[in-house]
Structure 1
Amino acid sequence: MNDTFLRACRGESTSFTPVWMMRQAGRYLPEYQAIRKNLSFLELCKNSELCVEATLQPVDILGVDAAILFSDILILMEQMGVPLEFHENHGPVFLHTIRDSKAVEKLRIPDPATQMDFVMETIRLLRRELQVPLIGFAGAPFTCATYLIEGGSSKIFWATKKLIFTKPGVYHALMEKITEATILYLKEQIRAGAQAVQLFDSWAGVLGPVDFAEYALPYVTQIIAALKADDFPEGKEVPVIYFANNGSTLLELSVSSGADVIGIDWRINIADAIARIGDCAIQGNLDPFALLLSKEKLRARVGKLLKDAAMAKGHIFNLGHGINQFTPPKQAKIMIDAVHELSQK
């Protein structure tokens, strides 16, 4: 087992810098497109054997140092009782929005062991195949709430912020329910065999620090504390990564969540981020579009990032967001090989 990723998460010494990519199993790979050819995205997410195949593809093709479970952060929201569709070129769409007390009350807390067994079976099957660690994941409560409130993606988050500021009781009730469901979901992933978990807070950056501290961070902190609680011994050994996209202004607050690793986007120099987060491992943070550079310039960019990250307690090389679907896979391979070569100690 190549456990370099887990060692870096714990801040231990490693012989090279481990690397994986967000969205590494996805549309940029022809092999993934072949799997998707006759299936909807939701059908794929609920087919354990095909999810295993999709998860393994970037490990086998690119040589990354960790696999991330193939699924979607909104699968849990669907299981909470909100019909979900994925529309090509438009992303996720919830057929009902959650904007009042009655809608919140109707949300259920699913039993992940039974209602989401397709996810757990994927994890169990992957653990038999993988020679690198497996990352489980969930959406952070604020990000998941925005999808439920808006009915899908948004640019200005009008409905979300309107609910926060005009109906805070409804908003907090929704967040409490999502948080409870997420704790159960991640605990079950760990029991099934996930060796690390990541909380994706894709829309955290739409909040200023004051509002992030009041309306998002407490729920992330609650999840992480629950995963590491005394009544759940497995959680103590499983690193938690918290990734707040567009969160350069939120770094110190993010560290206070209790996460073992802070993921950062490309909007901040990693050396500056390291100086601000202190005694915590870091993950990131190449601009995904930098993969379009020539081989020489891409290798130079990788080398500079590794040098800038030299003072980190632990560093996991990653993109600052998910790999773009139009990226040539050979470019991702150049980056991964460069990380392995240039970080050798």
Structure 2
Amino acid sequence: MTSPTIDADLRVLPASHPLQAGRTSGSALVSTYQGVRGPVTPVWMMRQAGRSLPEYRALRVGTDMLDACLDPAMASEITLQPVRRHGVDAGIFFSDIVVPIKLAGVDVSIVAGRGPVLPHPVRTADDVRNLPELDESALSPISEAVALTVAALGQTPLIGFAGAPFTLAAYLVEGGPSKDHLAARTMMHSDPDTWQALMRWTATITGAFLRAQIIAGASAAQLFDSWAGALSLADYTAHVAPASALALSRVHGLQYTAPDASTRTVPMVHFGVGTGELLGAMHDVGADVMGVDWRIPLDEASRRLGGTVPLQGNIDPAFLRAPWSVLEAHVLDVLARGKAAPSHVLNLGHGVPPDADPDVLSRVVRFVHDVAGEGHAAAGAAAGGSAPAFAGPVA
């Protein structure tokens, strides 16, 4: 399959794009992201693709994580697995936060049990100056994987994935995962010029990474700032928000014509872990939807955002191993609190744990679709089921 060319000047999505062609523009997910509350709350789960699924573990035998991300057929198949199994309302593109760093030419590997490791941390102005420029032709495996996936998904939308500039910068400076990101925060304050140059670099590559996915067929995108919860509001606003805004500027304004003949843009979700105090600032960088982790209730998150922003979240992953009656009550509480927002996509407040029972995840999706959705059970039965349209595996 030929992958779409990345056009830096493109503003209108290609006619074949699922949004432009009308395959996903009226989907529950896209409509909800645009602030329209439907009869059923759409649901997908962060990290739904991957480690919790036995079919993923079987497919990955003998294949390095980053190699899997850069093999178009494998990345596509992994993205499709949870859509088949769980009947979720969207696929989330299978990748890793450090993939654009790898594609730019930086030495990085993913070590089992630890995560991304960079043998040569970026600590000085010279280190930043020596970072390679991303040749956007290197993104072709990403475009190809997305194109394969959307061809198989049919009317089910695909969500693009990228790490936010601060999270990428934290990995580069720390040389790997960190609990407090002290080295990154030290550079931020002790050498602000070098920090700003590093943030411009990470914003440039992650913006290009997101744009490639959208042009290739993703119907929405989510920017993950996994480590932003380590920052104060003042530090985020002064030293991080401008770079996140720069990254999202690469995808703002990508237009399509909706079924009602209005001109719409591709919706952007912004999510961070432990970022309840940053919600307003994170929204202000150019997000349409805010993801919320499990630490604050959705009604409080909506209040902090002025009651005007669509929300995504926020089942506590710890409840996935609780008795069903406890999990069911928690899901109903999350759905009820989500009504404080203009619209709400149900998700976890963080990723699916590795030891999560896939049958429990499927049961949550069925419950939301068939029980929690007002009037949906009867309508779904009359229509012969409520699972989203899905064209099957990639050939």
Relative to the length of structure 1, the TM-score reads 0.96
Q: Aligned pair 1:116/2:145, yes or no?
A: no
Report the equivalent of 1:26. Answer: 50
Task: After superposition, give the CA deviation of every residue in 1:211-248 in whole Å (9 maximum; x if it has no partner).
Answer: 0101111111222234224xx54696210000021001
Report the equivalent of 1:37. Answer: 61
Task: Give the deviation of 1:14 after TM superposition.
Answer: 1.2
Determine which of 326, 329, 342 is the counterpart of 1:300: 329
Distance in 1, matches of 2:248 and 2:264, equals 10
Report the equivalent of 1:255. Answer: 283
2:290 alignment partner, SS class: strand
**Equivalent residues in 2 for 1:1-345 (5 A)?**
3-112=27-136, 114-130=137-153, 131-229=155-253, 232-233=254-255, 237-277=265-305, 278-340=307-369, 341-345=371-375
Q: For the Cα contact (< 8 Å) 1:264–1:283, is it kept in 2? A: yes
Summarize the Cα distance change of 1:225–1:86 in structure 2 as closer, same or farther, 3 Å threshold: closer
Task: Give the deviation of 1:343 after TM superposition.
Answer: 2.3
Deviation beyond 6 Å, 4+ runs, structure 1: none
Report the AA paired with residue 56 of structure 1.
L
Relative to the length of structure 2, the TM-score reads 0.84
Q: For the Cα contact (< 8 Å) 1:149–1:160, is it kept in 2? A: yes
2:44 alignment partner, SS class: coil
Q: For the Cα contact (< 8 Å) 1:109–1:180, is it kept in 2? A: no
Q: CA RMSD for the aligned pairs?
A: 1.5
Distance in 2, matches of 1:194 and 1:203, equals 25
Task: After superposition, give the CA deviation of every residue in 1:244-276 in whole Å (9 maximum; x if it has no partner).
Answer: 210011112122122110001000011111112
Q: For the Cα contact (< 8 Å) 1:299–1:334, is it kept in 2? A: no
Report the AA paired with residue 374 of structure 2.
Q
Task: Give the deviation of 1:13 after TM superposition.
Answer: 3.0
Report the AA paired with residue 342 of structure 2.
K
Distance in 1, matches of 2:40 and 2:233, equals 35
The sequence identity of aligned pairs, in percent, is 38
Distance in 1, matches of 2:249 and 2:73, equals 32
Query: How many residue pairs are counted as aligned between the two chains?
Result: 342
Q: For the Cα contact (< 8 Å) 1:80–1:109, is it kept in 2? A: yes
Distance in 1, matches of 2:156 and 2:374, equals 18
Higher helix share: 1
Task: Give the deviation of 1:100 after TM superposition.
Answer: 1.1
